[in-house]
Chain A
């Protein structure tokens, strides 16, 4: 039963609340977003701008997963973590297959050129 007489504040997922981790995640996200903005505004700043942007994005996602969502393999979080990991194949399928289609679609339909 989800609904019992227990104190909701003692629920293990509620106990994960951690002010310091939230602040750390917020500060890190702000710094990384500023860095990303900088790279986007001045692409010549680093050698491979797209790689740099992707790396910053990946770092931001990792920090949010670890500090904000606190995903790990403890008994409280294992289902959430596994669900998160299982979403990856879907992400690869959805984005990958779309990219594959659009890769040749533009050349075949010539619509993109018309739309500009």
Chain B
């Protein structure tokens, strides 16, 4: 064990009162969180919702509810990451030139360099791993079983475990805000800065364990989704009929399953350096800090495609629905997804072209990177041909999908520029690169926001407000343009990234424009929250039948909206790639099963939540070096897993009569919704289940 600087006690480890930061911004955030927490807890107690929360959400193994919880975690973290972005923009607009004023102890701007470094590290870590990844995993969780006609995931218990491990990672990052500090070494963990000699505090440990624990959850989730897609397809759902989103989910989870272990190893070796004094990545004693970059990006680049491929899948579902045409080039779309997934494994070195590899090595990775453009180009043309001569309707999901297409063009073409090592040498580490990968991640964000709007009625039974959704879209897009075009420009002018102070006052106009863009994002968030509120308030006026958009195509739209907990009353038989279109053409839309059967369902369990809580103890103990907590949590996790393996009563049966009754109620609700757009009761996924889980 390595001896660390500062006091240590057997009970509290490195934790002391000094760990509470005395920064007024953090104090403000703390008060905000406490007030919000009191309001939420107060409401739960006042409305007597604790039992409901426990039974219906915290102990659930239902893939839709788990998916919704993933998305909620992701949206909360998206907001936190956005606040970090707001802080960075504000710092750069204030700290411009030698005469710029300083506030709150900073020489320029209002953030001292050490704090600024933590803000950008947190922003990157949160946005990639705790916003984009959970929301995508959540959407796959909700949609994939429905698209393939399954009742749940292959391993519902494992699914819940993945959720709670992700939640632990997010919780550790939030804890770091109020107790100790966060890593200041960038979201990638720049070595040797992450080594104990240069980062003796707990910040790097928070970063490391948050990622390590949540990535275990993501890996388990990937195995689960792959098993689900391979083994749980309904009769007739052949590989050639698999909806395109499910195909991209399969390719993306193959990437996750193969690449996340590399991240685990890289962080594990870093952990050995920090805790046991080994020298894998140290700058000396035989350590090789370049090996860390190599290992990190060996995961990092596949991770980029892990987030982009589901977004491509979402666009491929939304565009045909709102063009009222089948997807153009289904086979090439599938092939392109797998080609991108395959090539993702041989391009990682382009993240460090300037490290000093030989021209031949750089050339190989440059060519491999450009090859990605071919399948991506195939996809772009396929989407364009799908829209061509279709009956296009620009409802909110379609706006997001088309917006994503434009982002992909800008991000993709600048990516091609960066794929050339000579260009890369001149703009490496500039904000041009930052603008490029943000435009690419905007493809993901646009895809996600489109998909959330698109599938929301399937889960909740009512549509989100259209006009507010469109305002959200336009303000968001205006914000994107205002932030990232000036960023591309200033990057080309030579502005490097991660600057807490800009020495060149000529950059000020660009910073002002970006700050205005952030303001537009803020307005868009207001419209998003208002959209959610208004839609929830007016839900009875916006209720939908099974096919929420009137032109949906795939199997999930055959099930009633909102989907009952068992998904399909009778396992569907699939006849075509666009099953709902086939049924519509055969006059079978809305057909009712002749008779119902008993449905075996997985029983709720608190075990994943318990393991999650213990993992939080483990992570917290490791960060603060409280060995008793670490040992206790670790042993308890193992014992819990063993104890759970003895539980035999993990399923229950929903009787056929019960299924028939629920289906009848749902059909009545849908019929009434279709007749007068009102009076159907409640939100099914939000109301207590009628059979005991």
Report B196 CB to chain A, min CB distance, Å. 16
Chain A 46-103 interface residues, beta-carbon cutoff 8 Å to B: 79, 87, 90, 93-94, 97-98, 100-102
Closest to B150 in A: A1
Q: In the bound complex, what is the Cα–Cα distance between A116 and B650 (angstroms)? A: 56
Q: Please tell me if the beta carbons of B355 and A109 are within 8 angstroms of each other in the complex.
A: yes
Q: In the bound complex, what is the Cα–Cα distance between A111 and B291 (angstroms)? A: 12
Contacts of A108 in B (CB 8 A): 356-358
Q: In the bound complex, what is the Cα–Cα distance between A90 and B342 (angstroms)? A: 9
Chain B 340-365 interface residues, beta-carbon cutoff 8 Å to A: 345-346, 349, 355-358, 360-361, 364
Beyond A8-B648, A104-B361, A105-B290, 18 additional contacts (C-beta under 8 Å) are: A3-B600, A3-B601, A90-B345, A93-B346, A94-B262, A98-B298, A102-B290, A102-B291, A104-B357, A108-B356, A109-B356, A111-B290, A115-B283, A115-B284, A115-B285, A115-B287, A115-B288, A116-B286
Contacts of B155 in A (CB 8 A): 2
User: What are 7 pairs between A and B in contact, CB < 8 Å?
Assistant: A3-B152, A94-B345, A109-B355, A111-B288, A111-B289, A115-B285, A116-B286
CB of B602 within 8 A of chain A?
yes
Q: Please tell me if the beta carbons of B284 and A101 are within 8 angstroms of each other in the complex.
A: no
Contacts of B231 in A (CB 8 A): 2
CB of B470 within 8 A of chain A?
no
Q: Please tell me if the beta carbons of B349 and A97 are within 8 angstroms of each other in the complex.
A: yes
Report B656 CB to chain A, min CB distance, Å. 15
Contact of A3 with B602 at beta-carbon distance under 8 Å, contacts A108-B358, A109-B356 already known: yes
Contact of A3 with B358 at beta-carbon distance under 8 Å, contacts A87-B258, A98-B294, A102-B290 already known: no
Q: Please tell me if the beta carbons of A94 and B232 are within 8 angstroms of each other in the complex.
A: no
Q: Please tell me if the beta carbons of A5 and B651 are within 8 angstroms of each other in the complex.
A: yes
Closest to A2 in B: B154
**Residues of B bordering A, CB below 8 Å:** 151-152, 154-156, 230-232, 258, 262, 282-291, 294, 298, 345-346, 349, 355-358, 360-361, 364, 600-602, 648, 650-651, 653
Contacts of B600 in A (CB 8 A): 1, 3-5
Report B154 CB to chain A, min CB distance, Å. 5
Q: In the bound complex, what is the Cα–Cα distance between A93 and B348 (angstroms)? A: 11
Interface size on A, residues (CB 8 A): 24
Q: In the bound complex, what is the Cα–Cα distance between A3 and B601 (angstroms)? A: 7
Contact of A1 with B345 at beta-carbon distance under 8 Å, contacts A94-B298, A101-B357 already known: no
Closest to B286 in A: A116
A-B pairs, 3 with minimum CB distance: A104-B358, A109-B356, A3-B602
Q: In the bound complex, what is the Cα–Cα distance between A2 and B358 (angstroms)? A: 51
Q: In the bound complex, what is the Cα–Cα distance between A105 and B653 (angstroms)? A: 62
Q: Please tell me if the beta carbons of A4 and B651 are within 8 angstroms of each other in the complex.
A: yes
Q: In the bound complex, what is the Cα–Cα distance between A4 and B600 (angstroms)? A: 6
Q: In the bound complex, what is the Cα–Cα distance between A2 and B155 (angstroms)? A: 7
Contacts of A93 in B (CB 8 A): 345-346
Q: In the bound complex, what is the Cα–Cα distance between A98 and B288 (angstroms)? A: 13
Contacts of B232 in A (CB 8 A): 1-2
Q: Please tell me if the beta carbons of A3 and B345 are within 8 angstroms of each other in the complex.
A: no
Q: In the bound complex, what is the Cα–Cα distance between A90 and B650 (angstroms)? A: 37
Contacts of B289 in A (CB 8 A): 111, 115
Q: Please tell me if the beta carbons of B357 and A105 are within 8 angstroms of each other in the complex.
A: yes
Contacts of B262 in A (CB 8 A): 94
Contacts of A87 in B (CB 8 A): 258
Q: In the bound complex, what is the Cα–Cα distance between A78 and B64 (angstroms)? A: 30
Q: Please tell me if the beta carbons of A3 and B156 are within 8 angstroms of each other in the complex.
A: yes
Report A96 CB to chain B, min CB distance, Å. 10
Closest to B258 in A: A90
Contacts of A5 in B (CB 8 A): 600, 651, 653
Contacts of A109 in B (CB 8 A): 290, 355-356
Q: Please tell me if the beta carbons of A112 and B288 are within 8 angstroms of each other in the complex.
A: yes
Contacts of A98 in B (CB 8 A): 294, 298
* Most chain B CB atoms below 10 A, which of A87, A105, A109, A115: A115
Report A102 CB to chain B, min CB distance, Å. 7
Report B360 CB to chain A, min CB distance, Å. 8
Report B252 CB to chain A, min CB distance, Å. 15
